[in-house]
Amino acid sequence: MPTNNEIAKILSETADILEIQGAIVFRVRAYRNAARVIENMTDKLSDIVARNPDELNSIRTIGKTLHDKIIEFCETGKVEEFDKLKESLPPGLLEMLKIQSFGPKRVKLVYNKLGIDSVNKLEEAASEGKIRVLPGMGEKSETKILKSIRDFRTLQTDRKPWAEAEEILQNYLGYITKIDGIHHIQPAGSFRRCRESVGDLDILVTCNENAGGIIQHFAEYPEVLEILAQGETKSSVVLKSKIQVDLRVVKPESFGAAMQYFTGSKEHNVALRALAKDKNMKLSEYGVFQNDESIAGKSEEEVYNAIGLDWIPPEIRENRGEIEKAKNHTLPNLISLDKIKGDLHCHTTHTDGSASLPEMAAAAKKLGYEYIAITDHSKAVTIAHGLSAERLLDEIMEIDKFRGQNPGIYIFKGIEVDIMADGSLDLDDEILSKLDFAIAAIHSRFGMNSDEMTERIVRAIQNPYVRCVAHPTGRLIGERIPYEMDISKIISAAKENDVALEINSSPHRLDMNESFTFQAREAGVPICINTDSHSPDGFLNMRYGINIARRAWCTEDNIVNSWSLGKLKSWFKPPKEVVQCELF
DNA sequence: GCCGTTTTCGGCCCGACTGTTTTCAGTCG
């Protein structure tokens, strides 16, 4: 059965094709809206279809036509009309849409006038000066196209975002475990290490004796596109979703050693084996051996302990100093989802959220949170119906009233205030002073050079009411590269001014990324893990941000929203002391 | 293509930015 992402993808590609063909914008938008809603749903659409297709009718943005198409896709694995649409266009045209500043009109223009039907041909034509003769195009357009194509290529990757890999994996595990005889089944590899993206999936299984049957069953999964290898204890397949999955069947007494071995990373394992050798031991996927005798292997703890180490959490097995710490019993106590006490970035129907303030508060309370901050958009983000000072005052009043009536969860008064091109904010200090805190963010003018962008963000950090910078680099995974900026200067300005940097947990952003977070934590910058939720379901994305934070060695001390309500209240108390930073 | 106290037709988030143009089309969020 297709995943939500796969259904969303087919709808969104239909929208792309219709757009190039010149369909009316609202029809195109209907497909896009549905794709977005489906992508963000927590319930699996294919489950709903299997249970009761009529339930689809209650989902916003899915009407009669899309209802039928989704059922067709779930039942037959394809949508006839989509296949026809796809055949009507050269395949390269859709790829060209991914080039920044290249939309459907321009794709159509270069295709009709110059026969350009691929990114490669577009690049060739642009570098030969053939684009500038077209109406509405000029020399600058060509330069821009060439730069956009370079950016596009750096974003191209075979790896899947972790969240997408997780969905594929969960479905596969659900299928595999239907066969009898499996003792343990666990994912390993970079997925278990929670890397931001995953190249292939590794699954480990222990069983009684039916190894052959399990391997056979594994390869018969209906989503398998190609079987690469199939032996007695190992099979590799490629799924229709274009990801390779390896299954290994191991003996129970070796399960821990195999988990350790196949979880990696390679660098971590090389260092571990060297350490074992120093102690006259041998470490392999079958266990720890001394004089050819197995002394450990059943569990990972046993394996690590046998070579004199504490067990190391998978997320930090990258040979970045964790082995030394495990030796000295000084490994960090990594942050985890259960330590999170609230979410400090979310939206309501006051701007572009889909749920009211009480609904968002109720959803947060249900998760066991002690507090949340409501941070709707400010006026510059017109598309989100951003708040003017007057409308923000209304929201503040609503929060005051809500606080009085709902002792179970504390609502911080916040705003996601926009950083203008010059680093000023689009709301003045007078209104900001009425809030608990402001979280500053960029939503426009992404193309500034590094010096300008760095100065812009540092100026915002130096505003007395700003306590956090949201999605600091602006990257959208697979879609937009991060802004040019000097990360070390941002980090030191944040540190000097005691301003937090955000890990935005949206699976499309994951911004800051792991390396930025690592540097920020080492510098002692407070870190928020927020979801930027626009609906109650959005809160569930927190775990993706947790993955990043754990990989960056963050502990409770580092993570602002694991602090107690009291500690947070006293930290917020605006205005803060501003430290001017020397930039250049 | 979706949706509905404006309800089965006629609306649908809309302003900023860019690069091309002399007033605007295309793209983006």
A270 pLDDT band, cuts 50/70/90, is confident
A91 pLDDT band, cuts 50/70/90, is confident
| A213: CB within 7 A of chain B nucleic strand | no
pLDDT at A407 over 90: no
For the domain spanning A264-327, the CATH number is: 3.30.210.10
| A478: CB within 7 A of chain B nucleic strand | no
- CA of A441 and C1' of B14: distance in angstroms? 20
The reported pLDDT for the residue numbered A226 is 83
- CA of A32 and C1' of B5: distance in angstroms? 28
| A140: CB within 7 A of chain B nucleic strand | yes
pLDDT at A297 over 80: yes
Looking across all nucleic acid strands, the nucleotide with the smallest C1' to CA distance from residue A32 is B1
- Residue A18's H or E segment, with its range, is helix A4-20
Is A584 or A120 the better-scoring residue by pLDDT? A120
**Mean pLDDT for the stretch of residues A98-123:** 90
Rounded CA-CA distance A114/A128 in Å is 13
Looking across all nucleic acid strands, the nucleotide with the smallest C1' to CA distance from residue A23 is B1
| A30: CB within 7 A of chain B nucleic strand | yes
Q: What percent of chain A has pLDDT over 70?
A: 99
Report domain extents, chain A: 4-155, 160-249, 264-327, 337-572
Looking across all nucleic acid strands, the nucleotide with the smallest C1' to CA distance from residue A148 is B27
Task: List the one residue out of A217, A211, A236, A209 whose CA is nearest residue A225.
Answer: A236
- CA of A382 and C1' of B18: distance in angstroms? 19
The reported pLDDT for the residue numbered A210 is 81
| A104: CB within 7 A of chain B nucleic strand | yes
Rounded CA-CA distance A537/A367 in Å is 11
In chain A, positions 62-81 with C-beta closer than 7 Å to nucleic chain B are: 62-67
- CA of A421 and C1' of B24: distance in angstroms? 25
The reported pLDDT for the residue numbered A157 is 64
Task: List the one residue out of A318, A163, A182 whose CA is nearest residue A252.
Answer: A182
**Mean pLDDT for the stretch of residues A355-375:** 94
**Mean pLDDT for the stretch of residues A401-410:** 91
Q: A337-572: same fold as A160-249?
A: no
| A24: CB within 7 A of chain B nucleic strand | yes
Q: Write down the architecture of domain A4-155 according to CATH.
A: Orthogonal Bundle (1.10)
| A100: CB within 7 A of chain B nucleic strand | yes
| A29: CB within 7 A of chain B nucleic strand | yes
Nearest residue to nucleotide B27 when comparing alpha carbons to its C1'?
A101
Task: List the one residue out of A408, A412, A458, A404 whose CA is nearest residue A438.
Answer: A412
| A386: CB within 7 A of chain B nucleic strand | no
Most confident of A7-11, A19-23, A310-314, A483-487: A310-314
Q: Chain B: nucleotides under 7 Å from a protein CB?
A: 1-3, 11-21, 25-29
| A27: CB within 7 A of chain B nucleic strand | yes
pLDDT at A479 over 80: no
- CA of A304 and C1' of B8: distance in angstroms? 69
For domain A337-572, the CATH class is alpha beta
The reported pLDDT for the residue numbered A262 is 94
The reported pLDDT for the residue numbered A449 is 86
The reported pLDDT for the residue numbered A528 is 97
| A102: CB within 7 A of chain B nucleic strand | yes
Looking across all nucleic acid strands, the nucleotide with the smallest C1' to CA distance from residue A142 is B19
- DSSP secondary structure of A200-246: EEEEEEEESS-HHHHHHHHHT-TTEEEEEEE-SSEEEEEETTS-EEE
| A210: CB within 7 A of chain B nucleic strand | no
**Tens-place pLDDT, residues A430-463:** 999 999 999 999 998 888 888 999 999 999 999 9
In chain A, positions 117-136 with C-beta closer than 7 Å to nucleic chain B are: 132, 135-136
- CA of A405 and C1' of B12: distance in angstroms? 37
Mean pLDDT over each residue of chain A, to the nearest integer = 91
**Mean pLDDT for the stretch of residues A146-173:** 86
The reported pLDDT for the residue numbered A419 is 93
pLDDT at A191 over 80: yes
Beta strands in A431-492 (DSSP E): 437-441, 466-469
pTM, rounded to two decimals: 0.85
Structure tokens at A265: 């990373």
- CA of A29 and C1' of B11: distance in angstroms? 14
Rounded CA-CA distance A394/A388 in Å is 10
In chain A, positions 356-385 with C-beta closer than 7 Å to nucleic chain B are: 382-385
**Mean pLDDT for the stretch of residues A91-99:** 89
- CA of A391 and C1' of B15: distance in angstroms? 19
Rounded CA-CA distance A459/A462 in Å is 5
**Mean pLDDT for the stretch of residues A387-407:** 91
- CA of A37 and C1' of B4: distance in angstroms? 20
pLDDT at A259 over 90: yes
In chain A, positions 215-244 with C-beta closer than 7 Å to nucleic chain B are: none
CB within 8 Å of A66: residues ≥ 6 apart: A11, A30, A31, A34
**Mean pLDDT for the stretch of residues A255-267:** 93
- CA of A64 and C1' of B8: distance in angstroms? 14
Backbone CA torsion sign across A456, A457, A462, A465 = positive
Angle between helices A4-20 and A80-87 (to 10 degrees): 40
Looking across all nucleic acid strands, the nucleotide with the smallest C1' to CA distance from residue A68 is B1
The reported pLDDT for the residue numbered A521 is 97
Nearest residue to nucleotide B24 when comparing alpha carbons to its C1'?
A136
Sheet holding A437-441, edge to edge: A342-343, A371-377, A410-418, A437-441, A466-469, A500-504, A527-530
Q: Tell me which of 3.55.10.10, 3.30.460.10, 3.40.190.80, 3.40.50.300 is the CATH number of domain A160-249.
A: 3.30.460.10
| A480: CB within 7 A of chain B nucleic strand | yes
